A and B are shown apart, each in its own frame.
Chain A
């Protein structure tokens, strides 16, 4: 008779240590309940007609509506208009500001950095109210100033194009400083000796900016672009508080349309579909930007 080989001793390495997982378990539970589950739940909800009550089954009616919904298209169009005008405008300004703040010629740099960052500290509701007042057609200081200069007054908040301009101005005022500070950090990461070498080779400051500063700043700029695009796709506060999406739907964005459907019409299913469409757009935009501008050459 042959003897049966005894079972091999258990390998110590294969044993999963339990303790660390126990320690992070509370976090995982909270994460799953308040973060992961709502994401899944809202995806499921996007297939439900929530207006018919709990009895309704699943279907694609919300997604069908999204494809043919004129309001969704208006919201998307407005969001893209803001994206195409405001983001480049703001980042150009922010880069200019960052270069200026980085200049050794500038005195009291700390003060300036604070001044340009300050708009971000102001509460959104407060600053929106101030913009409403500034651009009030009858009594606002902007129209008073225009009249003082002999220019025609503009009915800012009751006309589509001017209302859009107010939104873009307000966002630019609030976010330029924030981006400038990030870009400034990027600028300070560029070693001084690169510039010294360029200066010895006879490069003008203008050439230095275009041929060295901008290319070396590209990763930081890309970071700012991606963040701004995602932020703009979610834009809510300014159009909600300054123009109330109006006049008509002239400044309605994806964010305000989602809110309107979810929390005014209580149509959670359709609002979820909009939210997923926005998330998908943000993913596509970010991916495209990373592919187009993120290469290491």
Chain B
């Protein structure tokens, strides 16, 4: 009886505080991500009926640019909740340390263990938490079951990059070079290098953001693999749009990206339903790590928000509950970074588009293995250097991958002023 009274009292207390939150929460986001946030509004309003949520879809570039303008102007014209990509996040904290609220002051500390460590690295500075992890980009290989089968490739037996290369050669023989094992944006981007380097526990910078580590062995191995794939002609060179056109035209047997690419394949090639499947990315050596991360975002609360309590309540409901994260996974394929989300029933369901494979389980199971990597505030400088060095190395300008990356390290150091790790 006593227990019941206590529970009722607690429930009542809970309701009063929920009822007391009111006003409007304005959120800036983009495209599918905005739609995903919108899909969590009904569950939020069930808890907080007096808060009106206004999700504004500005488009990715606009969110970034208007955030930059707002912070540069000292925090004017900012929303209550701001969407930010992990890679680009640190540049905001570094240039405008006062533009966003430290979420620890609102109680975010208790979620430290709820998300994988690699998701927090770019969102925390010292003991401040500037944003809460949202979706992530665990890397997997999406593949065409039918094309692999025709070429006699068994996806389950591809465990290392050498296996992947051998499978690519088989594919070339079968289709006369018309169908490729993947598409690399060589000269346009260095995504493959980043995915492979991350897998080998290497990145542009160390996790303290004090040294340049791009010339370390894990990165050397990554760059070498990228060149091997390109020079053996098992992958094609094309940009984002070209890759979509290619898989729609049955010219690509697989694609490697962060798992958010699931939606891109599913919506662009609806007629290929049932033909696709997913397997973990190959390791660089037998028994090596088969996980990596590319992309993913977070939500921050600008300091100028007049309604921080309600904004934080929204963050908690959308990001820190399994229900919120799974709602977004269902509606737009956003991959949860909340660890408990992988235990949800939906995650273990078979997906018809993916040949009834439990793709979300395959994808989320890799989350715990992803090595941490930091974009740092110099991410764009380093990326610009690496895109060129990779293209030059593939072209044959450097003798070895080590030479290439030594040069890249030198250039990044010149641009950022950071020392090169010994």
Which residues of A line the B interface, CB within 8 A?
50-51, 53, 65, 68-71, 136-139, 155, 157-158, 244, 246-250, 260, 263-267
Contacts and interface: CB of A to CB of B under 8 A. Distances in A.
B378 A265 contact: yes
Contacts of B245: 136, 138-139
A139 B388 CA distance: 26
A68 B414 contact: yes
A42 to B, nearest CB: 13
A249 B388 contact: yes
B101 interface: no
B68 interface: yes
B187 A248 contact: yes
B205 to A, nearest CB: 14
A-B complex: 4 closest residue pairs judged by Cβ atoms: A247-B187, A248-B391, A248-B388, A264-B380
12 contacts: A53-B94, A69-B414, A70-B414, A138-B242, A158-B238, A246-B188, A247-B186, A247-B187, A260-B384, A263-B68, A265-B91, A265-B381
Interface in B78-135: 91, 94-95, 97
A137 B187 CA distance: 15
Interface in B262-302: none
A247 B187 CA distance: 4
Contacts, number: 64
B246 interface: yes
Given A51-B94, A53-B94, A158-B238, A266 B187 contact: no
Interface string B150-188: 000000000000000000000000000000000000111
A138 B246 contact: yes
Given A244-B188, A263-B65, 16 more contacts: A50-B95, A53-B94, A53-B95, A69-B414, A70-B414, A71-B384, A137-B238, A138-B238, A138-B245, A158-B186, A158-B188, A158-B237, A248-B388, A263-B68, A264-B380, A265-B378
Contacts of B361: none
Given A51-B377, A265-B381, A248 B387 contact: yes
A158 B187 contact: yes
Contacts of A265: 91, 378, 380-381
A70 B411 contact: yes
Contacts of B31: none
Residue from B91, B94, B388, B392 having most chain A Cβ neighbours under 10 A: B388
B68 A266 contact: yes
Q: What DSSP secondary structure best describes chain A's contact surface?
A: loop
Interface of B: 65, 68, 91, 94-95, 97, 186-188, 237-239, 242, 245-246, 377-378, 380-381, 384, 387-388, 391-392, 411, 414-415
Contacts of A155: 237
Contacts of A260: 380, 384
Contacts of A248: 187, 387-388, 391-392
Contact of B242 (A69, A136, A244, A246): A136
Contacts of A158: 186-188, 237-239
Contact of B95 (A51, A68, A136): A51
A139 B248 CA distance: 12
A53 B97 contact: yes
A249 B384 contact: yes
A68 B186 CA distance: 26
B91 A266 contact: yes
Contacts of B381: 265, 267
A247 B242 CA distance: 14
A253 to B, nearest CB: 14
Contact of A247 (B95, B97, B391, B411): B391
A86 B269 CA distance: 41
A137 B238 CA distance: 9
A142 to B, nearest CB: 15
A276 B246 CA distance: 43
A241 B186 CA distance: 18
